[in-house]
A and B are shown apart, each in its own frame.
Chain A
Amino acid sequence: MRLPKSIPGNILRGLAWAGVLFLIAPLLVVIPVSFTPERYLSFPSEALSLRHYETLLFDRRWSGGILTSLLIASVTTVLSVVIGTLCAVGMWRIGGRRMQLLRLMVLAPLIVPSIVHALAFYKSWIDLGWLDTVWGVIVAHTTICVPLVMITVSAALSGFDHRLEYAARSLGARPLTVLRRIILPNILPGVVSGGIFAFITSWDEIIVILFITARKVRTLPQTIWSSIMERVDPAVAAISTVMVAATLAAVIIKLTLAKRAAPQP
């Protein structure tokens, strides 16, 4: 895109930075707040304290929430990576217009508003008896995350030459061997980014959780939600800081992986 020449470079740059600041500032606010020694949300005035980080570790409401979320997000990631990858590879292999239609259907969970989704899960989970179970949450989250994996894996496959599969088979490889030794190594960056997307999505999903869990299953976002609703606890700022740091770490890992697997000319 060509920008009009009338805007001088430094103003343009200033605008860009203002935009970046606008996006990031709210996130940055939580970091100092998390170090406050007080029991309420405030900026630390004199001393810094790690007490709210301690709460995260030792208060069972928080640590339990973190562990539950970790469990759900990990299992969800594994399931959606396996299902999403196999699905994307299968659709890539078959190809054609019918697959385009199917792709649209599989991607529907991304298009339907979460609240509609949540309602649908709620209704079905009652009948299945899955309400308020870890397994029920995992299934719901996997449903949401499979399309994410499919998108990234399909993108990786779109640049993958069908003839590589043909070549491998003509050299004597069975279809599963082709998948393991030829296709997977080449689409690994797509699989990994899909997995990261899936993990993050499951990790901070709240809407569906609010609908299909009650007391037995308490994930981290749910704990945050209720601790904000019930009493304004600076531990929320602490966990937010941890989550920002973790997300940042994940993005950095993903970027380094993407760079390493940069497409060869």
Chain B
Amino acid sequence: MSAGFLEIRNLVKRYGTAVAVDGASLSIAKGDFLTLLGPSGSGKTTILMAIAGFVKPTEGEIVLSGRNLVPLEPEERDLGIVFQGYALFPHMTVAQNVAFPLELRKWKPDAIAKRVEETLAMVDLSRFADRRPAQLSGGQQQRVALARCLSYQPDLLLLDEPLSALDRQLRARLQDEIKSLHQKVGVTVVNVTHDQDEALSMSTHIAVINRGRIVQYGTPDDIYENPATRFVARFIGRSNVATVERIETKGDGTSALIAGQWLPVEPNPTVAGKAALSLRPEMIEIGPPGTDRTDARKVVMDARIENCVYHGGTTALDIRTAIGPLRAEMPTSRLGVRPTAGATVQASWPVRAGRIVSEDDTALDQQ
């Protein structure tokens, strides 16, 4: 592993006997947009706060472009952080908020005025320079918080779930804005979120975190298409995951024994130990019973519809099959008949859609 721009080496944080971060290591390049994705309490915020300097690691190193951050106070690290709830100073105007870090850096007043103007223009808030934060909407406050960090051009920008308090539409718009700002400014970003959509759409890299460990690290499409463990498959894309009892490879291919049924699967040599089968809901096709079952590239089985939820463009179906309950999600337009609970149908999916993943997070620790 070559030395990255930001390197986290074997980071451990214990509070008494509780372990918040359990040996996390990461390396990202300049200009990356890394998202730490995990459920609440997984340790992702602790990692971010350790980078920021508000959490002292029990063990491990954090190195930013060759500089060890651990012994430095937060104010000596020269990072930008956008907090959940933005943490704008309520007694200052928007312009004063943005000028604050520049004043601390002893800039000349005219240079400050110029930079504040430029930065506010960049986030499209010039008109609001003299307003107080309380007079702005959530999205505008968010952009002030960004401007305040970007005004002094830090090497690294940390985002602590800055979008979680916003409504869905605004969130989507700001995701786009942050993304384009990232491309425009070229700053390296570490983002923390529990929102998988946000992680997938904004990041260049994702680290999936569970119980203080980095379970999987990769690009968004890699993580989505090749989840390494049951946890990753469930957490991102809410995959169906079934425990695999045995895997056998014969001349004509690999099969997995699930709930007493042998199913053809694609082998996955990286999984050692207990395995599970992950199947994305959108890969399952629901059709009328009695269709052709001779296609070797497809798994076909009988199913009964238990529940059916209409989402407009897509329809979610809870079905019961020989390998247990599955959730399927189909474009509504491709469902021939309006499905009803209790109806017998046929479920099918391409063999390559079923991914063999590791049952256990701790079993793979190749980081």
A residues bordering B, Cβ < 8 Å? 161, 163-164, 166-174, 177, 181-182, 185-186, 264-265
Residues of A within 8 A of B105 (CB): 172
A163 contacts which of B74, B85, B100, B104 (Cβ < 8 Å)? B85
B residues bordering A, Cβ < 8 Å? 52-54, 73-75, 77-81, 83-85, 87-91, 100-101, 104-105, 132, 134, 148-149, 152, 158
Whether B104 and A172, one on each chain, are in contact in the complex, defined by CB atoms closer than 8 angstroms, is yes
In the complex, A213→B227 CA distance in Å? 80
Whether B104 and A177, one on each chain, are in contact in the complex, defined by CB atoms closer than 8 angstroms, is yes
- Min C-beta distance of A214 to chain B, whole Å: 48
Whether B75 and A166, one on each chain, are in contact in the complex, defined by CB atoms closer than 8 angstroms, is no
In the complex, A173→B90 CA distance in Å? 17
Q: What is the count of residue pairs linking A and B with beta-carbon distances less than 8 angstroms?
A: 66
Whether B134 and A170, one on each chain, are in contact in the complex, defined by CB atoms closer than 8 angstroms, is no
Q: A161 with B87: in contact, given A166-B74, A167-B81, A171-B104 (CB under 8 Å)?
A: yes
In the complex, A170→B100 CA distance in Å? 11
Interface secondary structure of B, over-half rule:
loop
With A167-B87, A171-B100 known, 6 other A-B pairs at CB within 8 A are: A164-B87, A170-B75, A171-B80, A171-B152, A172-B105, A265-B134
Whether B90 and A264, one on each chain, are in contact in the complex, defined by CB atoms closer than 8 angstroms, is yes
Whether B132 and A264, one on each chain, are in contact in the complex, defined by CB atoms closer than 8 angstroms, is yes
Instruction: Across the A-B interface, give the 7 residue pairs with the lowest CB-CB distance, nearest first.
Output: A264-B134, A167-B87, A171-B101, A163-B87, A172-B104, A170-B81, A169-B74
Whether A171 and B84, one on each chain, are in contact in the complex, defined by CB atoms closer than 8 angstroms, is no
What are 12 A-B pairs with beta-carbon distances under 8 A? Answer: A164-B90, A166-B83, A170-B74, A170-B79, A171-B75, A171-B101, A171-B148, A172-B75, A172-B101, A172-B105, A173-B104, A186-B89
In the complex, A173→B132 CA distance in Å? 21
- Min C-beta distance of A94 to chain B, whole Å: 14
In the complex, A164→B83 CA distance in Å? 9
Which of B80, B104, B132 has the most CB atoms of chain A within a 10 A radius of its CB?
Answer: B104
- Considering only CB atoms, which chain B residue lies closest to A164 in the complex? B87
Residues of A within 8 A of B79 (CB): 170
Whether A182 and B89, one on each chain, are in contact in the complex, defined by CB atoms closer than 8 angstroms, is yes
- Min C-beta distance of A166 to chain B, whole Å: 6
Whether A166 and B104, one on each chain, are in contact in the complex, defined by CB atoms closer than 8 angstroms, is no
In the complex, A181→B90 CA distance in Å? 12
Whether B87 and A166, one on each chain, are in contact in the complex, defined by CB atoms closer than 8 angstroms, is yes
Residues of A within 8 A of B85 (CB): 161, 163
Whether A169 and B89, one on each chain, are in contact in the complex, defined by CB atoms closer than 8 angstroms, is no
- Considering only CB atoms, which chain B residue lies closest to A186 in the complex? B91
Residues of A within 8 A of B78 (CB): 172
Whether A174 and B87, one on each chain, are in contact in the complex, defined by CB atoms closer than 8 angstroms, is no
In the complex, A161→B165 CA distance in Å? 16
Q: A170 with B89: in contact, given A163-B84, A264-B132 (CB under 8 Å)?
A: no
- Min C-beta distance of A157 to chain B, whole Å: 14
Residues of A within 8 A of B89 (CB): 164, 167-168, 182, 186
- Considering only CB atoms, which chain B residue lies closest to A264 in the complex? B134
Residues of A within 8 A of B91 (CB): 185-186
Residues of B within 8 A of A164 (CB): 87, 89-90
Residues of B within 8 A of A182 (CB): 89
In the complex, A166→B85 CA distance in Å? 12
Whether B74 and A186, one on each chain, are in contact in the complex, defined by CB atoms closer than 8 angstroms, is no
Residues of B within 8 A of A167 (CB): 81, 83, 87-89
Q: A186 with B90: in contact, given A170-B75, A172-B101 (CB under 8 Å)?
A: yes
- Min C-beta distance of A71 to chain B, whole Å: 33
- Considering only CB atoms, which chain B residue lies closest to A178 in the complex? B75
Residues of B within 8 A of A264 (CB): 90, 132, 134
Residues of B within 8 A of A174 (CB): 73, 75
Residues of A within 8 A of B75 (CB): 169-174
In the complex, A174→B83 CA distance in Å? 19
- Considering only CB atoms, which chain A residue lies closest to B84 in the complex? A163
Whether B83 and A163, one on each chain, are in contact in the complex, defined by CB atoms closer than 8 angstroms, is yes
In the complex, A92→B253 CA distance in Å? 65
- Considering only CB atoms, which chain B residue lies closest to A167 in the complex? B87
In the complex, A14→B91 CA distance in Å? 43
- Min C-beta distance of A176 to chain B, whole Å: 11
- Considering only CB atoms, which chain B residue lies closest to A181 in the complex? B100
